Amino acid sequence: MPPIVRSYLHRLGGDRLFRRHPKSANHRRRRIGLMAGIQAIALGAAVVVAPLPASAEEYPSWDEVLAARGNAESAQRAVDQINALLVQLAAEAERTAADLEVKSRRWQVLNQQTMQKQAETQALQEQSQQAEATAIESETMAGRWAAQAVRVGGGDPTLRLFTAPEDADNLLTAIGVSARMSSQANLVYERAIQERNTARSLAGQAAVMERELEQLEAEAETAMQEAQAASEAATKAQVEQEARRTELEAQLAVVRGELEITEAQYKEGERIRREEELAGLGIDWGQVSSSGWAKPVSGFISSYYGPRDGGWHNGLDIAQGCWVPELSAKAGVVTRVGWYGGYGYSVDIDHGGGLWTRYAHMPDGGAVVSPGQWVEAGQQIGYVGTTGNSTGCHLHFEIYTPSGSTDPLSFMTAQGIYF
């Protein structure tokens, strides 16, 4: 009996839902092929970075699967279709894994080039500043030499010879000293000009390098965002494709007659499986208090409600790993799903009476509910993410009353929910 059959037999209680059929050699060969395809998917699941290529219409519905079960030709077509989809999952995983590797390597190269360019730019700026300081010092010194030469020369020498002929020797000595000082001043001034030119040249080079650095930083930022998006999409696709693969395997078992199960029973089995999985992870949220409220996610509080960074933080930030399930805090109607400014990908739920909650920074497309859908307290609505104005994986949780936003921590404590 295939694992999926044993799994649902265990979850749904007993063997009353199952019929046993003799397995032919051909059946065993097809089963081996199926398991090989599933193993390929499992190996590639961790690096999937894009949604399924097939549209919803291309996947067989449960009604079609159940209808095909009683007809050999239809059953074979359904088996071929499901097997083809499983192969397609593995092929898409391989393709998108290569895409992720390319984007990651591009970011690594650009990031390394950026750091190198930053070091070169800083060094050139320091050289330019030093050359500027040296030029200013030389210009100042040249000015001092010139001023000193004028003072030593003492004005018009011809006039001084007529008015003080007895001082001729001293006058000639002063003229000689003044000439030498003027010559020295000229040398210092020429050096100052050279140093000034050097400073201007280095400043020009630094300006060019700064522009190159800005371009590199922009390219590196774009590459980083693409790599982050690919990484986020990888985790999302892993969850989505694993769920799709599991359902396809169950449908395959049904169409082959190994398992007699309806769509409702499949979904109930998946719900039980998810509860068992959460319990295995030690997840302790989702229990509903007597007031009808549930903890949306567990984790440590990374930011409280109130003033922050010169503004006001409207919610409670609860740090958790990305793609950990988020649950509805209270029963209500989903009013909005999608991107919303700095909140990133988020969900709003109306609980009636002017009371509503917001769950922000989910992964792109990370909601599992849609607008207009009724959800119960403790029901999963999405996953923890870090989209929008976020620096790490966490839930930004807001509660609004008819009076406006309120402190989620105090409010939830009053409802018997403790973080």
CATH number of residue 370's parent domain: 2.70.70.10
Backbone angles phi, psi at 336, to 5 degrees: -155, 140
pLDDT at residue 318 greater than cutoff 80: yes
Count of domains for the chain? 3
pLDDT surpassing 50 at residue 240: yes
**17 lies in a domain?**
yes
Domain that holds residue 365: 300-414
- Calculate the average pLDDT of the chain: 70
Same domain, 377 and 325: yes
Q: What are phi and psi of 13, to 5 degrees?
A: 80, 95
Q: Is 404 helix (H, G, I), strand (E, B) or coil?
A: strand
Shared-domain flag, residues 311 and 366? yes
Query: How far apart are the C-alpha atoms of 419 and 416, rounded to whole Å?
Result: 10
- Specify if 80 maps to a domain: yes
Residue with tokens 């997840």: 283
pTM: 0.40
**What pLDDT sits at residue 213?**
82
Residue with tokens 């395809």: 37
The token pair at 211 is 């522009």
The answer to whether residues 75 and 165 belong to one domain is no
Exposure string for 342-359, b = 16+ CB within 10 A, e = fewer? ebbbbbbbebeeebbbbb
Joined together, the tokens standing for residue 124 give 């050139």
CA atoms of 186 and 167, how far apart (whole Å): 28
Determine the Cα angle at 182 with ends 180 and 185, to 5°. Answer: 110
pLDDT confidence band for 23 (50 / 70 / 90): very low
In tens, the pLDDT along 61-90 reads 666 666 666 666 666 777 777 778 777 776
pLDDT tens digit string along 356-403?
999 999 998 889 999 999 999 989 999 999 999 988 889 999 999 999
Q: Cβ-count burial of 34 within 10 angstroms (0-12 exposed, 13-18 middle, 19+ buried)? A: buried
Closest to 234 measured CA to CA, from 347, 98, 369: 98
The region, left, alpha or beta by phi > 0 then psi within -120 to 50, assigned to residue 388 is: left
Is the residue at 306 inside a domain? yes
Sign of the alpha-carbon dihedral angle for 159, 161, 163, 168: positive
